[in-house]
């Protein structure tokens, strides 16, 4: 086969062929991995919901809805039911007030609104400082733990701001942000709910309480 001469059109043609082949390979790889990645994410979310809520016998993912926070934002809420009765919820929450930007967490409440547990899903806080929020706020020491607290009487705040939660040592900004995400989760749970399929809004409790 005669070798193509190194002219500009031939170089352009070779580049186009290379790009096309690369595109086909990448598309095929994406199609091959998209399914397993989606399943992995769903499994991780299911585990997080299970970790922060009481035992349930429904599928919270299928019955998820959106709750509206006091500032008008919308957070996804996963109801945990046992024998048809609401026993708790897991709320996908976040804040953009972290020291290094956005912090994403999932927060579990029982039917009365008592905080059961939480899991940090994503953050970029400083290792060894702000990153301690993974465990700091569930450690039963002084006033660190938020587990078992009710937010019915008001938002959680660090001691420096007049609250009764001990901030992470040398990481007050991260601590404030973490509690902001907790407070927003509770606000969404006790606020207005929005049907994820119809967009219709109802006051929280019309369906499950």
Lowest mean pLDDT among 41-45, 119-123, 148-152, 170-174: 41-45
**Whether the predicted pLDDT of 62 surpasses 50:** yes
**Whether the predicted pLDDT of 129 surpasses 80:** yes
Please, are residues 193 and 77 in contact by the beta-carbon 8 Å criterion?
yes
Alpha-carbon Rg of the chain, whole angstroms? 23
**Whether the predicted pLDDT of 198 surpasses 70:** no
β-partners of residue 78 are 90
Supply the pTM of this predicted model.
Answer: 0.77
The predicted-structure confidence for 111-120, as pLDDT tens digits, reads as follows 999 999 999 9
Q: What angle do CA 130, 137, 123 make, to 5 degrees?
A: 35
- pLDDT at position 44: 85
Domain boundaries, the chain: 1-51, 65-203
Alpha helices in 77-171 (DSSP H): 133-136
Sheet containing strand 115-122, edge to edge, reads 115-122, 101-110, 85-98, 74-82, 65-68, 192-194, 201-203
């Amino acid at each position: 086969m005669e070798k193509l001469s190194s002219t500009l059109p031939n170089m352009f043609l070779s580049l186009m062929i290379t790009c096309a082949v690369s595109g086909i390979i990448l598309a095929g790889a994406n199609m091959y991995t998209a399914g397993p990645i989606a399943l992995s994410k769903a499994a991780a979310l299911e585990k997080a919901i299970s970790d922060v809520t009481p035992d349930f016998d429904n599928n919270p993912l299928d019955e998820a809805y959106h709750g509206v926070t006091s500032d008008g934002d919308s957070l996804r809420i996963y109801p945990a039911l046992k024998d048809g009765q609401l026993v708790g919820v897991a709320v996908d929450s976040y804040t953009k007030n972290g020291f290094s930007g956005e912090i994403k967490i999932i927060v579990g409440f029982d039917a009365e609104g008592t905080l059961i547990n939480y899991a940090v899903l994503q953050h970029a806080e400083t290792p060894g400082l702000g990153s301690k929020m993974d465990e700091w706020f569930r450690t039963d020491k002084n006033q660190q733990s938020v587990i078992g607290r009710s937010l019915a009487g008001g938002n959680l705040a660090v001691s420096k701001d007049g609250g009764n939660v001990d901030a992470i040592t040398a990481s007050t900004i991260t601590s404030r942000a973490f509690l902001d995400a907790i407070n927003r989760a509770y606000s969404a749970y006790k606020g207005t709910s929005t049907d994820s399929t119809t967009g219709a809004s109802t006051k929280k409790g019309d369906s499950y309480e």
